[in-house]
Homo-oligomer: A and B are copies of this chain.
Amino acid sequence: MVSERMYALGTKKSTIRTIFEYGKKRAAEVGEENVYDFSIGNPNVPAPEAVKTAVIDILETMDSCLLHGYTVAPGDPQVRETIAASINRRFGTAFAGKNLFMTSGAAAAITICFKALHEDDADDEFIAFAPYFPEYACFVESVGARLSVVPANTDDFQIQFAELEKLLSPKTKAVIVNSPNNPSGVVYSEATIRKLAELLTAKEKEYGHPIFIISDEPYRELVYGGLTVPYITRYYRNTLVCYSWSKSLSLPGERIGYIAVPDEVSDFGRIYGAIAGAARVLTHVNASSLFQRVAARCVDEPSNIAAYEHNGELLYQGLVEAGFECQKPQGAFYLFPKALEQDDRAFCDRAKQYDLLLVPGSDFGCPGYFRAAYCIKESTICNSLPAFQKLAASYR
């Protein structure tokens, strides 16, 4: 009577959701302050005051029919010009408004790219690098293509190029880059991006067709210790940038982001046109007309990096002192330490006994590790450290 695939996708709870709901239940039993919930990647920093100011000012100055009316599908032209100018200032690019397509957040942006690029009835593949955001698989499969995964490089969570090379084939439509990375918290270095660009350029020549990089960048602004995140269009022409203000302005519920399509991509017109078609059939009529304007007004508003950096450092130090092996926090708001036994699911189950709610690395295609989201109260992190100590001791 209904689509079995849709039913399964709509009712099978993710591990993260299951852990999160367990946390709520447990908090009711033992008190919220005694549950250390590291499961959810939801910003805990409020949206900057500038967002509120912008909303109120826009409401008070703009004509209602214009403000709340449909925008053209790619988004308000002036909004796109403003955002393009900001990207250009910060990353030395040469975008105009016509290079941007406003979307309802990054999930829509990447899926629109998948749907635009996946050729009708072809046996196309997209490639992700473990550890990776598990919804990629769901989104890629929903457009009828296949996701292949390059195993994680657990030395430093950069790219295992030998493994990537094995997976690349004439069927490869695009590789998905997510840096700063969810869940590893690592930023791909300039050397990594250069090497990736070289390899893909060689393979494009070999196969005689473009291979795109889809750069999923919701965490672009959240980087620590003075690191820079290479702007990939400057290294590789066939790059589509998928951005969202969900994390940088703490607006995940408002669903606002964009796709940047550089002039240099192979056949700009065809790609931009296919993106418009994909947005249409995915029924993203236009991104919120109010939040398009808010994003434009707040485009140069700094993210509250200090709060996350402080939390990341606190958790990192605590984990290292407790004996965990972990990359230093570089970006996003996750740590991805090694579990204390091979079976990461068993490890996370044991952690629950200490009211530590952690997500198994297997969920991100990287067994033997776990994800701890530190976009939570500082006090929760402080109070959790003795529990991590006890958990570690239980393995000695």
Which residues of A approach B to under 8 Å, CB–CB? 1-11, 42-47, 51-52, 55-56, 59-60, 63-65, 67-71, 104-105, 107-108, 111-112, 115-120, 138-139, 142, 209-210, 250-255, 266-267, 270-286, 288-291
| Contact across chains for B59 and A44 when beta carbons are under 8 A apart | no
Shortest Cβ distance from A216 into chain B, in angstroms? 13
Partner of A67, one of B253, B283, B284, B286: B253
- In the complex, A155→B273 CA distance in Å? 41
Please give, as numbers and ranges, the residues of chain B lying within 8 Å of A274 by CB-CB distance: 2-3, 6-7, 10
Q: Could you tell me the dominant secondary structure of chain A's interface residues?
A: helix
Please give, as numbers and ranges, the residues of chain B lying within 8 Å of A278 by CB-CB distance: 3, 6, 9-10
| Contact across chains for B283 and A107 when beta carbons are under 8 A apart | yes
Please give, as numbers and ranges, the residues of chain B lying within 8 Å of A47 by CB-CB distance: 64, 68
Shortest Cβ distance from A82 into chain B, in angstroms? 17
Contacts A1-B267, A43-B65 known; A254 to B6 CB distance under 8 Å? Answer: no
Partner of A139, one of B3, B6, B253, B283: B283
Shortest Cβ distance from A56 into chain B, in angstroms? 6
- In the complex, A112→B3 CA distance in Å? 11
| Contact across chains for B3 and A120 when beta carbons are under 8 A apart | yes
| Contact across chains for B70 and A11 when beta carbons are under 8 A apart | no
**Residue among A68, A120, A280, A286 having the largest count of chain B Cβ atoms under 10 Å:** A68
Q: Which residue of B lies closest to A72 (CB)?
A: B17
| Contact across chains for B1 and A104 when beta carbons are under 8 A apart | no
Q: Which residue of B lies closest to A238 (CB)?
A: B1
- In the complex, A11→B270 CA distance in Å? 9
Given A5-B277, A139-B283, 6 other A-B residues pairs in contact with their CB atoms under 8 A: A1-B117, A1-B271, A70-B252, A107-B285, A142-B281, A254-B290
Contacts A3-B116, A68-B47, A117-B2 known; A11 to B253 CB distance under 8 Å? Answer: no
- In the complex, A290→B286 CA distance in Å? 16
Please give, as numbers and ranges, the residues of chain B lying within 8 Å of A289 by CB-CB distance: 253-254
| Contact across chains for B68 and A270 when beta carbons are under 8 A apart | no
Please give, as numbers and ranges, the residues of chain B lying within 8 Å of A67 by CB-CB distance: 253
Q: Which residue of B lies closest to A56 (CB)?
A: B56
Please give, as numbers and ranges, the residues of chain B lying within 8 Å of A282 by CB-CB distance: 282-283
| Contact across chains for A120 and B5 when beta carbons are under 8 A apart | yes
Shortest Cβ distance from A386 into chain B, in angstroms? 27
| Contact across chains for B252 and A2 when beta carbons are under 8 A apart | no
- In the complex, A267→B1 CA distance in Å? 9
Please give, as numbers and ranges, the residues of chain B lying within 8 Å of A51 by CB-CB distance: 68
Contacts A283-B108, A285-B105 known; A254 to B68 CB distance under 8 Å? Answer: yes
Please give, as numbers and ranges, the residues of chain B lying within 8 Å of A64 by CB-CB distance: 46-47, 52, 250
Please give, as numbers and ranges, the residues of chain B lying within 8 Å of A1 by CB-CB distance: 117, 119, 209-210, 266-267, 270-271
| Contact across chains for B70 and A6 when beta carbons are under 8 A apart | no
Please give, as numbers and ranges, the residues of chain B lying within 8 Å of A270 by CB-CB distance: 1-2, 7
